[in-house]
Amino acid sequence: MAEAIVSSTVGKVADLLFGKVIKEINHIRNCTENVEKFKTEVEMLKVMRGKVQQQIEIANSKGDNLITGVEDWVEKADTEISKAEAFLNEEANAKKTCFKIGLCGNWHTLYHYGKTATKMSPYLLQHQEVGKGYETCVSVYTPAPGPLEVYQNKNLDDIATQNSALGDIITAIEDEDKSKQIIGIYGIGGVGKTTLAMEVSARVKHVFAAVAFTTVSQTVSVEKIKNDIGDATKRIMKGEKILIILDDVWEKVELEKLCIPCGINHMNCKILLTSRSEYVCEKMNAHKICVNALPEKEAWILFKRVVGEEVERETDLKQVAMKVAEECGGLPLFLNAVGNALKNKSIEDWDKALTRLQEHAPTRVDPEIGKAFTRLKLSYDFLDNNEARLCFLLCSMFEEDKEIWLEDLVQYAVGLAKFHGLKSMDDARQRVEDAVKILTSSGLLLKLDDKEYTKMHDVVRDVALLIASEGDGKSKFLVEAGKGFTEWLPRKNELESYTGISLMKNNISKLPNYELHLPHLDIFLISVNDKLPMFSDELIRGMKEVRVLDMSWCEVQPLPQSFKFLTKLRMLDLQGNKSLHDISILGEMQDLEILILNFTGIKEIPQEIGLLVNLRRLEAIGCENLYHVAPGVISKLWRLEELLIGFMWMLEGICERIVEIMNLSNLTYLALHVPRFGMIPEGFNPQKLKGFVIQIGGYFEYYSAANLKRRHLVIQTDYAESSFLKWNKQLIEACDTTDLDSIQNLNNILPQLYHEGFNELEHINLYKCRYVSCLIDTANWDQLHTFNLPKHIVEGKIKEMFLGKLKHLRLVRLQNLVVLWKCPDEYISLSNLVTLEIIECDELVKVFPVSVAQGLVNLQNLTVAMCGSLEEVIWDGDEETSKSETEHSEYTVFRSLAKINLYELERLERFYSGHSTIKYPSLVDADIEYCPSMKMWGPGIHETPKLKFVYPYVQLDGPDATINYAVNKLLETEKHRWELRFAKRVLRQHRRKQKMKIQ
């Protein structure tokens, strides 16, 4: 027995020694192979490092923030590459001499380099593995800065009036006294209240967690204000110290209506408001600070900064310039406007300007506005760009504090034919954008975050209205927009010199039934008057010269026969007039370039419209009675560049009309709505268009005239017919975004719709597809054979990664969605996914296995709401899931995830059920509402270094205040309220079901 044990032990030792010897010999035998393999790995790492560095350079050029760890990875990659190249150089030199040394020396060399290459390879492979995620994304999208972010500090040291006011405001803001929770800055228009408010925010922002800014204006828009400051008010509720700036307050506003937490329970909120009225500040219980106009000496200092210090060196120029500055009344707004207008001008221009500034202002206006007239009119007069002048005057036709849509300016300008040599609608848009930039840089328009809109400062608008009412030899406007008028009955001859009239946004129910003498009228705007009566024949006959007529959203009666006299019309907007049924009379208006018929009651587009051969843009969407488009009409509109039309309610001829559309050689943008796939002819390809929205089926139209630059397909039919989808593969492949809405015969997207290009999409939205049980189901992969594909292609396709290009996924009301995919996890790639929303998917129990979650390197926003069966978001996977992926990394990092919203999930128990570590280095916003079963975030370690607050009110302070702590705190305090809410919800659902049974 002993001998057997000894023999066995000796055998094992021999085997171990023999195995070790063989391993060492292999270092010699495989030296060349190991070194070559090592070279390949070095080259692969160099290529990867180059791609990542290129991504970093692109991100830096865009101003995006780099994700945590990417710069360290590049630095370590450089180190590894340097070590590897040094080793390879050493090995190459050794090769040249090793055979001269002798056999033993040669074996030693081979052994050394073979073994070293083998030992160094895993480090390169490990670094490549870490770098895979960085190849596609190295940054987090960083929003463009708002007005407070781009504001540049002003030098007020030698302008004592403003510097003193600034000091008083800052002192009041830093004072913790409850009587100074609200600070009111007041003073006349143009004195610099808004500038001071922004200067204050720049100087005290280190004291606050955030500063929010909104404009209140004369017409208070509660929703706009709440939208502007919504995030800030949430942070106040969290206990953070926040400053809110309410600019341009005209009357007392109720802070409760604006949802601003204020008062003794929210002393962490400070409010700074600006107003022209001291009385308003008193009504708001604000600590008042007056801002006065600048004395002459300080006004000159500010004026010199605008026009340049060289004005001091020329004696004659200085004398005139000082008088010009004096005429600006010490108001910074006008000092800047006039200074910019005269900067770099000749002494003759300065003399002319001084003479005009010294002229008496119109006596019929308020003295303050009268002075502003001559001062700001100078800035307008010195505009060299006529298109900028036109846009300035057109902006004055809108109501006060209106955010003006640039597309309105484009359409009005095209209709007025003021853009000489106009090439296209896109050309007109570019000219309007350029004009707005000029006006913004001159201080005549305000810069907004949304580049599709602009706005006039109310003081500038007052002046613009005076300029427009006086006329400049070409344009003279009467503007009564937003005045609340119920009637408009001017005298017959009192408007004969006017070229423009704006009565938009009133309540006018009476118009003249007599003829007005309007021989020069170019533009007449009477939109948004929902009580407007039918135009009388007499009124129409008096405005025969009109080129632009905006009657949108007025509910006018059928067009009078006298409309045929408006033969010079170039732009006509009848949008929203449901009582309008017949438009055949418009055939008389053969100069029309823009015709808007959206949401009207028209029944057909008749043959007469084919006479409008100068049309550039035609809109007829949302017309629920439109059953017929006369054959050949669209073909005759050969100059058409932009077409928005819905064929949803047409009885016949849809396919033929689309063929006509396809043959429009100048068409650039298209919005099209058809009832079924069969209506789109085979070969329809919108690839040549700059933008399009195509909707198939449904009654509510997704698109609007606001934005045609996207490439969007909406499928809202009961049945997605495969044969027609195959025909329209070109259409699908041309899209960036596809919506699938209410499709009844859809069980999955892939592979069911694989051959139609759905795996290439970046945006997918699924709504109310009741039979969708998963997004991907490879159990039905055999369907590929029905398309007569060769076997080797079928077998190759199944190895592809699904959803690899997807960036945005939205799943809403998929009542039978059980899982996101039914296939091995290795077929799923979500590395490019940025946003994911899952809403009202009541059968979904889990979202991601952790093996897939590890690949969510670009995910920034995650929302899961109203999913009644959801128990966990991330899970460890089932027994069939390969453990190699989860064990490959010690932890999971959601490096880009900044926002998580979990809302109304009654069965949700935890975010992650596993025990491994998850890091959230970018997470700053977590909302957990109405999740009564959620007792913890997860049993593992969850690192959230930037998360300071969990909504609705749990503050995370100190090392023990983890996200698990926050969830537990919410459960303790909100459980009763949650249970009550869900009880009411269940009762509502029960009543709704009972009602449906009765029906």
What distance in Å separates the CA atoms of residue 391 and residue 382, rounded to the nearest whole number? Answer: 15
Torsion sign (Cα): 379, 381, 382, 385: positive
Closest to 686 (Cα-Cα) out of 703, 661, 707: 661
Residue 410, judged by CB atoms within 10 A of its CB (0-12, 13-18, 19+), counts as buried
Closest to 977 (Cα-Cα) out of 916, 928, 931, 937: 931
- Interval 423-433 mean pLDDT: 94
Given this model, what pLDDT does residue 102 score? 38
Mean pLDDT for the chain?
81
Whether the CB-CB separation of 861 and 834 falls below 8 Å is answered with: yes
| pTM higher than 0.85 | no
To the nearest whole percent, how much of the chain has pLDDT over 90?
A: 27
Alpha-carbon distances of 501 from 490, 505, 576, 996, rounded to whole Å: 12, 13, 21, 53
750 has a pLDDT exceeding 50: yes
Least confident of 336-345, 463-472, 523-532: 463-472
Whether the CB-CB separation of 814 and 768 falls below 8 Å is answered with: yes
- Interval 416-426 mean pLDDT: 93
Given this model, what pLDDT does residue 365 score? 47
549 has a pLDDT exceeding 90: yes
Residue type, 111: Y
Q: With helix as H, strand as E and coil as C, how does 56-124 read?
A: HHHHHHHCCEECCCHHHHHHHHHHHHHHHHHHHHHHHHHHHHHHHHCHHHHHHHHHHHHHHHHHHHHHH
Given this model, what pLDDT does residue 101 score? 40
To the nearest whole percent, how much of the chain has pLDDT over 70?
A: 81
557 has a pLDDT exceeding 50: yes
- Interval 417-446 mean pLDDT: 88
Strand-by-strand arrangement of the 182-186 sheet: 210-217, 242-249, 269-275, 182-186, 287-290
Closest to 754 (Cα-Cα) out of 713, 726, 731: 726
Given this model, what pLDDT does residue 487 score? 93
Which one is predicted more confidently, 27 or 823?
823
Which token pair is 52? 């990542």
What distance in Å separates the CA atoms of residue 751 and residue 159, rounded to the nearest whole number? Answer: 71
- Interval 238-264 mean pLDDT: 87
Given this model, what pLDDT does residue 886 score? 41
Helix-strand-coil split of the chain, %, nearest 5: 45, 15, 40
Given this model, what pLDDT does residue 408 score? 95
Residue spans per domain, the chain: 11-135, 160-290, 303-382
What is the per-residue pLDDT across 285-300, written as a single tens digit (0 to 9) for each?
899 988 888 888 888 8
- Which of the four pLDDT bands, split at 50, 70 and 90, describes residue 738? confident
CA atoms within a 13 Å half-sphere pointing along the CA-CB vector of 890: 1
What is the per-residue pLDDT across 162-204, written as a single tens digit (0 to 9) for each?
888 888 988 898 888 878 889 999 887 778 888 898 888 888 8
Least confident of 135-149, 232-246, 878-892: 878-892
- Interval 662-687 mean pLDDT: 88
- Which of the four pLDDT bands, split at 50, 70 and 90, describes residue 391? very high
What distance in Å separates the CA atoms of residue 459 and residue 376, rounded to the nearest whole number? Answer: 10
- Which of the four pLDDT bands, split at 50, 70 and 90, describes residue 885? very low
As a whole number of Å, the end-to-end CA separation of the chain is: 90
What is the per-residue pLDDT across 112-150, written as a single tens digit (0 to 9) for each?
666 666 667 676 777 777 777 777 777 776 655 556 666
Given this model, what pLDDT does residue 104 score? 41
Given this model, what pLDDT does residue 756 score? 65
- Which of the four pLDDT bands, split at 50, 70 and 90, describes residue 736? confident
774 has a pLDDT exceeding 90: no
- Which of the four pLDDT bands, split at 50, 70 and 90, describes residue 221? confident
CATH of 160-290, one of 3.40.50.300, 3.40.50.920, 3.40.50.720, 3.40.1360.10: 3.40.50.300
- Interval 827-841 mean pLDDT: 90
Least confident of 266-275, 317-326, 350-359, 665-674: 350-359
What is the per-residue pLDDT across 979-988, written as a single tens digit (0 to 9) for each?
666 666 666 6
Given this model, what pLDDT does residue 982 score? 63
594 has a pLDDT exceeding 80: yes
Which one is predicted more confidently, 94 or 497?
497
Which token pair is 155? 């030098």
- Tell me if residue 43 falls in helix, strand or coil: helix
